[in-house]
Amino acid sequence: MSLHSIMPIPRYKDIVDLLKKGATVEAQEQIMALREAALELQEENLELRQRVKELEENASLRRSLVFRDGMYWRETESGSDGPFCPPCYDNNNKLVRLQYQKGYMSARGDYKARPYYRCTVNDCNFHNRA
Ligand SMILES: [Zn+2]
């Protein structure tokens, strides 16, 4: 997100002076510039509010996470939610639910009944013994 460069805002006094001199066209131009500046500030204000909300949500999420058994868990009022993938959260700030797997196929093609947690995000190969 890029913030707008602040353009100089016409001064109210200058507009009044222009009107007193009868320079209505110039005054009108200044009023238009003032209006434009107000709209830009309104837009920037909205972006900043959204950014603050985002940061507050991130901070609140971070406070609710605990690291246990090599994975993240989210402590909520209704109990512990999770587990979530550590690399995904630590590197990309994404809370990705880990999938419980009952076992896996070995390289030789036989089934191993050894439970583990797996991250399904493509570039993340996090596995953890259940
Ligand atoms: Zn992951």
Name the residue ranges covered by the structural domains of the chain. Answer: 12-62, 69-129
The distance from CA 28 to its chain's CA centroid, rounded to whole angstroms, is 41
Residue 124 Cα to ligand 1 middle (Å): 5
Residue 87 Cα to ligand 1 middle (Å): 5
- Residue pair 85/126 in contact by the 8 Å Cβ criterion: yes
Q: How confident is the model at residue 114 (pLDDT cuts 50, 70, 90)?
A: confident
Give the separation between CA 65 and CA 93, rounded to whole angstroms.
12
Residue 67 Cα to ligand 1 middle (Å): 15
Residue 1 Cα to ligand 1 middle (Å): 26
Q: pLDDT tens for residues 17-52? A: 999 999 999 999 999 999 999 999 999 999 999 999
Residue 91 Cα to ligand 1 middle (Å): 9
Residue 105 Cα to ligand 1 middle (Å): 21
Report how far apart the first and last C-alpha atoms of the chain are (Å, whole number): 40
Q: pLDDT tens for residues 59-113? A: 999 999 999 989 999 998 899 999 999 999 999 999 999 999 898 888 899 998 8
Give the separation between CA 130 and CA 78, rounded to whole angstroms.
22
